[in-house]
Amino acid sequence: MSQEPSPSALSNVLVILNPERTSGADMMLLDAVRQLDASRFRVTLGLLTSPLEARDFLPAHLPVVEFRLPGLNGLVWLRFFLVLGWHLWRRHIQILHVNSYIPGNYARLAAWLVGVPVIIDHWHGFTRFNRKRRFICRLLGRVTTLSLTVSAGVKQHLLQHLQLAPDRIRVLYNGIDLNRCRPSRSRQEMRTTLGLPQDVPVLAIVSRLDHWGKGHRELFQAMVQIKAHWPVHCLVIGGGQRQGEMMALVQDLGLGSSVTFVGQRQDVPDLLGAVDIFVLPSYSEGVSRSLLEAMALGLPVVVSEAGGSPEVVQHAVNGLLVPVKDPEALAQALGRLLANPPWAAQLGQAAAERVAAAFSLERLGQELNALYDHLVQAQQFGHPRP
């Protein structure tokens, strides 16, 4: 009979995140945390906000610290800084893991002042650095044990703009739960429920509609060209403040009957199970969770060459790559798939195999457990960083 590890054998970990389903970076970090070995790590979740829906997906067995940040002003940040420092000290935190936005900067500074041995920040995309932010991030980079990036492209971006030491940056590719990607309802049922035509190819794009940076404009412009040759419909999954503008553009382009906006949804695998091609012509991208989910479902994908997407999609092997902000190239790529359904299916099968082999949540968990172990041991015994 195996013995339970003694509390002193555990490494105390605090992971700070914003628990909202619409935040892909935070949900990815939460999924990774679920994979940590409880016999080696005692994990506490630090929640920046406390939405009611978080109760439905936060791991019930993990203790929670709620910071309840109501807004972004000096007094709020000062309170966060002081309360966080107290929790880091009281809980004897040995590893702090934060995503790289403003709270992460305050958190890294507090952890350094308290003396937390391992400080990790996690970069999910291509941050724009003004002079002030560049200075702050360079300064905090000196006290950060390791910066994780979701792609080699993001790593190169940090090296270029922050001049961090290369041995303090490591690529940790995203991973998804392959079991959660399986649709629970049939393609026909979903098309009927959504009012989609049963015999017309359907495209899908999944993202927040808070800006135009995911390439919605280019997709709609490409559809105008495609519809001259192919009957096609588009499913827009996600909500946000730009939805009204996007719906107006669709009407102006004469696509009103060919585009369906479904808003923010929790049944994305079911929705993707009803479509034929996934599209993500982003202007900038780390490694998109929705792209990985679509590929895991075996959908042929057409994505822009932005950021980390070419590290996931190999052109004409498991998907198609197109230039950024190029609706003509996007229309041509979609036309190739629509004209050759067997080839499209072949690309989709290769996409599913690619994600299963390199982007599973199991792989992410194994790498994160090993990384934490190495960093703790390096601090204890003076080993070099990975």
166: domain CATH number? Answer: 3.40.50.2000
Are 84 and 27 contained in the same domain? yes
Question: Is 2 domain-assigned?
Answer: no
Are 152 and 204 contained in the same domain? no
Are 18 and 118 contained in the same domain? yes
SS3 256: coil
SS3 168: helix
What total number of domains does the chain contain? Answer: 2
Cα–Cα dist 147/169, whole Å? 5
pLDDT attached to residue 128: 84
Are 199 and 330 contained in the same domain? yes
Question: Is 237 domain-assigned?
Answer: yes
Q: Where are the beta strands (DSSP E) in the chain?
A: 11-17, 41-47, 64-66, 95-99, 118-123, 146-149, 169-171, 202-206, 233-237, 259-263, 277-280, 301-304, 320-322
Question: Is 105 domain-assigned?
Answer: yes
Question: Is 192 domain-assigned?
Answer: yes
Are 18 and 166 contained in the same domain? yes
Question: Is 49 domain-assigned?
Answer: yes
pLDDT attached to residue 49: 85
Question: Is 195 domain-assigned?
Answer: yes
Are 233 and 341 contained in the same domain? yes
Task: Give, for all 386 residues of the chain, the pLDDT tens digit.
Answer: 334 444 457 899 999 998 887 788 888 999 999 999 999 999 999 998 887 778 788 888 899 999 988 765 668 888 899 999 999 999 999 999 998 777 889 999 999 999 999 999 999 988 888 898 899 999 999 999 999 999 999 999 999 999 889 999 999 999 999 999 999 999 999 999 999 999 999 999 999 999 999 999 999 999 999 999 999 999 999 999 999 999 999 999 999 999 999 999 989 999 999 999 999 999 999 999 999 999 999 999 999 999 899 999 999 999 999 999 999 999 999 999 999 999 999 999 999 999 999 999 999 999 999 999 999 998 875 544 44
Question: Is 386 domain-assigned?
Answer: no
Question: Is 286 domain-assigned?
Answer: yes
CA distances from 126 to 69, 130, 152 (A): 25, 13, 11
pLDDT attached to residue 222: 98
Are 53 and 168 contained in the same domain? yes
Domain that holds residue 182: 178-358
Are 368 and 230 contained in the same domain? no
Are 237 and 370 contained in the same domain? no
CB-CB neighbours of 288 under 10 Å: 28
Are 368 and 350 contained in the same domain? no
Are 138 and 254 contained in the same domain? no
**pTM reported for the whole predicted model:** 0.91
Are 154 and 229 contained in the same domain? no
